[in-house]
Structure 1
């Protein structure tokens, strides 16, 4: 969490606790003595704690409340294509590859799982680069091939950087690099809030949406 976000949380917390504490005294027609003042403070702090618990769990995704912090909700399944510069010994490329990204996101964490018909990649280091003043929204992550796949093969790893485009539907566009000396482009669109766990499930979800 950035320093600016922490400062905003502190400012909002003070404002909410103060407003609710004063409201407690006014609505219940309490006198402004030490005992009632302590109860008002306790009420304000408790209410603020409940608010942030709700916000960090659900509220940050809700329209209106999602404006409190500059943080897009990417959770769900995305479908599109991957274009790789890989070529076989005869110089033939793979062409456009059917590609899916499944994103699991909470307020503080984000995780990427990617699927083709022959590859599953899982992220192990993720970051969101969000700059409100410029409108920049990027996601980047390091990934490796899921270890349940062909464990005797050379460990495939790489990095991906994606630009977040808040269109309708939302899109992710960018590039990837791998330790197999290949790279390429990724172009996917948001298709569902549903989280799936396989290429076939993602493909079915995509086809049912068409």
Structure 2
């Protein structure tokens, strides 16, 4: 497994070059401003402002546009994913439970939160987009959470816990199909299990139902 490094510096440089070229033509050619220290300082300020705006647009939206996705080389995993997880092991119930994963992603950051049918939720401490050994991409996140009073396993009720989840991404095989994330999780309570979720929407509800 290898973390996909998001090169933030390169798009910022591209934004600065694009801003300088466009504003330079407008400022000095179209508006015919003289090249003087005062005008150059003003021009640098305009370029800095435009670069900031372009970077924000790229970081939040432009990077996952279909035409620009090959440039960013980062898979778009953002949205609300729903499916199930199954606890495995001697002290686990070995039953399937409903599971919701919400991913908030920009080009430079990714954050994962989970919600389960028994009231338990968790928040990602560290999340990364990764390349896995089989050539597929996905997401790995370390998380912590506290089960709610509705936790079905008495031994685990109200016990703080931490874990790691590693999910591989499968793009939708057709227009009528949904993208899938599936993989395994492990916890510090010596429990483990498998997860299978499908992308439902781009809207994050921050709750289970």
SS of 1:55's equivalent in the other structure is helix
Structure 1 residues 1-210: aligned runs within 5 Å: 5-24=7-26, 25-87=28-90, 93-130=93-130, 136-146=136-146, 149=149, 153-167=158-172, 168-199=177-208, 201=209
**How many residues get paired?**
194
Identify unmatched segments of 5+ residues in structure 1.
Answer: 202-210
**Shift in Å at residue 67 of structure 1?**
4.6
**Shift in Å at residue 198 of structure 1?**
3.1
Tell me if the contact between 1:70 and 1:130 (Cα under 8 Å) persists in the aligned partners.
no
SS of 2:101's equivalent in the other structure is strand
Tell me if the contact between 1:119 and 1:145 (Cα under 8 Å) persists in the aligned partners.
no
- How far apart, in 2, do the equivalents of 1:63 and 1:27 lie? 33
- How far apart, in 2, do the equivalents of 1:93 and 1:53 lie? 46
SS of 2:17's equivalent in the other structure is helix
Tell me if the contact between 1:71 and 1:130 (Cα under 8 Å) persists in the aligned partners.
no
Tell me if the contact between 2:122 and 2:143 (Cα under 8 Å) persists in the aligned partners.
yes
- How far apart, in 1, do the equivalents of 2:49 and 2:160 lie? 49
Q: TM-score, normalised by structure 2?
A: 0.73
**Shift in Å at residue 98 of structure 1?**
2.4
**Shift in Å at residue 172 of structure 1?**
0.9
**Shift in Å at residue 191 of structure 1?**
0.6
**Shift in Å at residue 35 of structure 1?**
4.4
- How far apart, in 2, do the equivalents of 1:40 and 1:181 lie? 60
Distance 1:20 1:121, change over 3 A: same
**Shift in Å at residue 19 of structure 1?**
0.7
Q: CA RMSD in A?
A: 3.2
